[in-house]
Structure 1
Amino acid sequence: MYAVLFADAGLSGAEISSLFILWSVSSFLIDIPSGIWADAYSRRLLLTLAPGLTAAGYALWTFLPSYPFFALGFVLWGAGGAVRSGALQALVYDELTRLGRSDAYGRLMGRSRAIATTAVMAATALASPVLHAGGYRAVGLASVAVALLGVPVGRSFPESRGDGEREERYGAVLRSGLAELRGAPGIRRGMLVVALVSGVDALEEYIPLLAKANGAGAANVPLLVLIVTAGITAGGWLGGRGTVRAGPVLAVAAALLAVGSGSGRPVGLVAVAVAFGAFQWAIVAADLRLQERVSDGARATLTSVAGFGTEIVAVLTFAGYGLGSSRLGAGPLFALAAAPYVFVAIAMWRSRE
């Protein structure tokens, strides 16, 4: 939707691409420092600030639709996502641990991802009538309002850590996190697995192209995309269950992705939907294993490092698809993208203890 806004504002394809790059760079630069801040000071504070930053970005796009303010809006949007990254997982896991319910972490995070996917589906469905009724200004105002609802939600999270449990200096948290990272190979492997598995989300952007390449007519492409989205939602709802089987399940998912995308038929998207659902489930499993390994004092920091790795994998996926598309169609590219997840499945199976 917003890509259309940028185009209608007179931006070229290159200018729009530069905005997406700026978005990624902003996330890269802010992700790890914000994670350290969350461990040093307050995770709840960052969860309260994050939606406000995103809302400010939307407001700039709505009221000042020009390239400089689009760019600043993307910086704010990237900052909002980066500030939230790490802080949420750390706060939820630690509070559940205090209640003796850390076993519920996977289920809660999986359900939150499923609800987020459902909300995106609902927003997409509502965007067209809102745009028809009030134009981009109405869509923008609705986006700002919804984002701002996240401020009181973030503030409502409990944070039981007392001042004595927090590091006194930002640098001390950084040193503690680096020491933990150097001294624990299991944490390094866990972070790499999280980054690789989560990076599959980047492929979701190309699902419409895959549906079209597999022979779907223009009218059926949205339906096939919806089927894949439903698979992702189901995977989120199942998150936290049966995590000891993450390796084998991920291997089967990789095979389904390769077979379904390479089938050349619209029905192959059903297999792709199951694969993406399994990937979503595996993301929750990988995150859970990482949280079980890291210490409370550096939890947000190390989770943010994993998030940083996820962004790198996503950018590499975008770049690889862009380069490969000059020689291969969407089906073969998706099939090739499935190959690395076989090795990730092996890594998850070996680290299941």
Structure 2
Amino acid sequence: MAGTLYLYSFLDEFVLLYPVYALLFSETGLSVAETTSLFVIWSVTGLLLEVPSGALADVLSRRLLLCVGPLLAAAGFALWVIFPSYWVFAAGFVLWGVRGALTSGSLEALVYEELERAGEAERYAGLMGRASSVGLAATASAIGLAIPVFAVGGYPVVGAASVVACLLCSLAALAFPEHRAATAAGDEDDEPGYWAVLKSGLSEARGNRHVSRWLVLSAVAGAIWGALEEYVPYLGKELGTPVAWVPALVLLVWAAATAGGLLAGRAERVAERPFAVMLLAAALALAGGALSGELAGFALIALAFGAFQLADVVADARLQESIDGPSRATVTSVAGLGKEAVTLLVYASYGAASTMAGHGLTFALFAVPYVVVALVWGRKSPRP
């Protein structure tokens, strides 16, 4: 199980097109507004399909969905390189969005239930933390490798490498064990089973207080820092960092996030109040580092991002433990929907705030939601 999970996580993020697809759009003649509209199409696709696909993963084979998802991404990447145009790019982003929706929730539910079946559910946080770190390392490797590969073969070779990675990821999914029934309810008719599972999952997400708490933390912890990471180069330039050193700042942040994922297994059993204290300390580190006006402040920002990544993995583990009903993937997809919504909100808010307040102050402002969540978590609450 562990080896398959790590291989799948690596191949899922090892896409050489990531650092150059914006250049492909630009060289095809797309304007900034048109490129932005593609990102909106991508995000909206994920938002619309996140929860419905989660219910699908509770009715059908989760391993099947994990296999199909990368195939859709491979088709989209191939179309981009072979037939570059606005509408082909849009179709590729739709396929990419569907792929994300199919795999989000499916992977977490499959891994947790297989571990639970083997009596090893306590390993979940550690495994998923390491898997997230493997994914971050894969993205960093793809970015580094894309430079020489692009120099040799341009977009066709980079695109072909990305397609091959997706195909291998799809094959890796077939190695996952799965010992659950393919349908949860309504064996004679899949449609009633699907709607029953969807309703059950949404009811648990709304009505189970403990599930709701971890859903909120999962959405906030992972989405805000994940969106802010995109703006690290801008903050570095604002602080006077030479352009040649900006990638080093990005690498520092990624290294800290990777470490946070690796430490998640040890932190999974920490009580809620110490957990809240850690989250509060990380929020203060984020604000302090951003407002310091010094390059050394990035060390604090990196520590904060590592803590937020740790909190994200732990929140997912606690969420899985809190789910009682049969709709595990559906409930997990609600967390994914929350992350997508928060990410869009951060992007929109950052664009408006940074023009008026600068990047340092804007980073600090986004520490506020973490402070609020930490204070709420610090209050005594009943155990499930």
Q: TM-score range by the shorter chain?
A: over 0.9
Match of 1:253 in 2: 282
Match of 2:117 in 1: 98
Distance in 2, matches of 1:95 and 1:248, equals: 32
Confirm or deny that 1:320 pairs with 2:320.
no
1:313 Cα offset (Å): 0.2
Letter in 1 for 2:222: S
Equivalent of 1:212 in 237, 240, 260: 237
1:207 Cα offset (Å): 0.8
1:289 Cα offset (Å): 1.0
Letter in 1 for 2:122: D
Please report the TM-score for the alignment, with normalisation by the length of structure 2: 0.89
The question of whether the paired residues in 2 share the 8 Å contact of 1:214 and 1:263 is answered with no
1:214 Cα offset (Å): 1.9
Q: Within 5 Å, which residues of 2 pair with 1:159-308?
A: 159-163=178-182, 166-168=184-186, 169-200=193-224, 201-243=226-268, 244=270, 245-295=274-324, 297-308=326-337
Cα 1:182/1:17, change in 2 over 3 Å: closer
Match of 1:139 in 2: 158
Confirm or deny that 1:11 pairs with 2:30.
yes
Match of 1:343 in 2: 372
Match of 2:140 in 1: 121
Letter in 2 for 1:209: Y
Show CA shifts across 1:193-219 (max 9, x none): 111111121111111111111221111
The question of whether the paired residues in 2 share the 8 Å contact of 1:260 and 1:268 is answered with yes
List alignment gaps of at least 5 residues for structure 2: 1-19, 187-192
Cα 1:352/1:193, change in 2 over 3 Å: farther
Cα 1:22/1:317, change in 2 over 3 Å: same
Match of 2:12 in 1: none
Distance in 2, matches of 1:199 and 1:76, equals: 22
1:122 Cα offset (Å): 0.6
Equivalent of 2:98 in 71, 79, 82: 79
Letter in 2 for 1:99: A
Match of 2:41 in 1: 22
Structure 1 runs (4+) deviating above 4 angstroms are none
The question of whether the paired residues in 2 share the 8 Å contact of 1:193 and 1:348 is answered with no
1:44 Cα offset (Å): 1.0
My pick for the range that moved more, 316-325 or 166-175, is 166-175
Distance in 2, matches of 1:277 and 1:119, equals: 17
Distance in 2, matches of 1:269 and 1:181, equals: 37
List alignment gaps of at least 5 residues for structure 1: none
Show CA shifts across 1:61-118 (max 9, x none): 1111110100000001111111100000000000000011000000000001000000
1:152 Cα offset (Å): 1.2
Distance in 2, matches of 1:339 and 1:279, equals: 13
1:296 Cα offset (Å): 5.1
The question of whether the paired residues in 2 share the 8 Å contact of 1:106 and 1:240 is answered with yes
What percentage of aligned pairs have identical amino acids? Answer: 49
May I ask how many residue pairs the two structures share in their alignment? 352
Distance in 2, matches of 1:209 and 1:151, equals: 36
The question of whether the paired residues in 1 share the 8 Å contact of 2:77 and 2:162 is answered with yes
The question of whether the paired residues in 2 share the 8 Å contact of 1:208 and 1:225 is answered with yes
Cα 1:251/1:142, change in 2 over 3 Å: same
Distance in 2, matches of 1:293 and 1:346, equals: 21
